[in-house]
Amino acid sequence: MKGIRIDTRDLYSERVKGGVEVGDPLWVKGQRAYWELQTRRNRGDLPFLDLPYSREMDEVLRNSRDLAGAFDPVVILGIGGSCLGPQAIAHVLFHPWMFLQGKAGLRGPRVFFLDNVDPGTCREALESSKEGNPLVVAISKSGVTVETLSQLMVFLKMLKDRFSDWRDRLLIITDPERGPMRELAEREGLRSYPIPGGVPGRYSVLSAVGIVPSQVLGIEGEELLLGAVDMDREIRKQDGRPALETALALYLLHKRGGKGIWVTLCYGDSLIKLGEWRAQLIGESLGKRPDMAPTPVTARGTTDQHSQLQLWLDGPRDKAFTVLSMQGHPALQIPDGDIEGEEADALKGKELGQVLRAEMVATKGVLRERGCPFYSIEIEPSPRSLGALFFLWQVETLLLGTLYGVNPLDQPAVERGKRLTWGFLGRKGFEREREEVEAWER
């Protein structure tokens, strides 16, 4: 498929000791999982898979195109799925400026992705946003996410204090009907975009959550959606593959081989946020069985070859890998110089991209030798390829939910921590939780 290449050969025992057996009887279970997914989608239970086709997203695209290039700096307030998706998109498409300078390209705006309530980080972003031509984008599915609501209250006061046109500098992306953020948007006449019902935060990257920030930064959101359509058609054409193949292989590697630690090994600084987005998708969707749940890990090549590779190769055989890389790198040649020796001679005249690729090929080789199964994905740095990858990993995770026998759309254990947080902070109606926390603090 154009823009994205997937190689699954190293998941199988024919190439890697400890890989999946092609004739495993559980392959039939995988096919049933795909049929079930299709049935649920046809019933309307998985509306986020159909966002690329929806009139609602056509409207979002039309109503956000005028934002491109209009503001500097841009502040994105959100956490989890409400921020990881937009971050992943920006880091791939604006590399290396986003990674090194927090900028959307050489001449683009400075961008602050505030996905935590660390006071030092938030204060610095706040001070930087008092000058220039700022835009604040607040994203929360529920509208009551404690971190995002806290940040919004801080930035809202700053905007009101310093800008007479503050209403034009604040965008809200939230529930279409409920919550304090929706109420604020309606009361003040703010520009706002809905997160449709039935779209959990970690599956929302192809909704306004990912599309509007992209458009603000000058990325064509329609290309992200078209990439998802491309992958959807590919999966339908191949009766579920490649998502079905990778999902079932990962499940079998866990169930049959005890390989429950899944490492997304990202060869390139621009890909790290993609790995983090996938880690949340897997962890929050599938982490629901005390006896059997995968643990997602994000690693960076080549950096983590010097910190984790020893463990992967000589430690427990409890890991499966996804090796993620980019098609093409900027030219940067290693010059002839004053450093002598056969090592330096081997490097002279090479591109740094060749060195990065050599490291990746070598690491794949030793993973293969040591019985560490993996599959490889190589993508173009384009919105269309990103849309395809987001869709692929969403379908892969939904299929894994069926295989593990868990609901991949909820996160019941997380709600307990949220209630205790509100109790600690003194929210009305959470007095019982406050008493619990106070007892722990004594």
Decide the pairing of beta strands 295-301 and 170-174: unpaired
Say how far apart CA 45 and CA 391 lie, in whole Å.
Answer: 16
CA distance readout (Å), 136 to 21, 154, 305: 51, 11, 38
Query: Tokens standing for 60?
Result: 């979002």
Say whether the peptide bond before residue 47 is cis (omega within 30 degrees of 0): no
Of 198, 209, 228, 193, the C-alpha closest to 115 is: 209
Residue of 56, 329, 418, 436 marked catalytic: 418
CA distance readout (Å), 415 to 178, 222, 418: 18, 34, 5
Beta sheet of 261-267, edge-to-edge order: 4-7, 374-379, 319-326, 261-267, 295-301
Q: Name residue 299's beta-bridge partners.
A: 265
What's the residue count for the chain?
442
What is the C-alpha separation between 172 and 182, in angstroms, rounded?
A: 8
Q: Name the catalytic one among 131, 306, 340, 428.
A: 306
Q: For the residues of 207-225, what is the DSSP string, one character each?
A: SHHHHHHHHHTT--HHHHH
364 is catalytic: no
Question: Is 163 in a helix, a strand, or coil?
Answer: coil
Strand order in the sheet with 191-194: 111-114, 74-77, 135-140, 170-174, 191-194
Distance of CA 87 to the CA centre of its chain: 8
Residue tagged 């961008």 (tokens): 111
Q: Annotate 160-198 with b (16+ C-beta within 10 A) or e (fewer).
A: eeeeeebeebbbbbbbeeebebbebbeeeebbbbbbbee
At 25 the three-state DSSP class reads coil
Q: How far is CA 335 from CA 285, 339, 343, 344, 350, in A?
A: 48, 10, 13, 10, 8
Instruction: Mark whether 288 is an active-site residue.
Output: no
Q: How far apart are CA 77 and CA 207, in angstroms?
A: 16
Cis amide leading into 302 (omega within 30)? yes
Q: Which of 222, 234, 284, 378 does the annotation list as catalytic?
A: 284
Query: b/e for 261-272, b at 16 or more Cβ within 10 A?
Result: bbbbbbbbbbbb
Catalytic residue annotation? 284, 306, 418
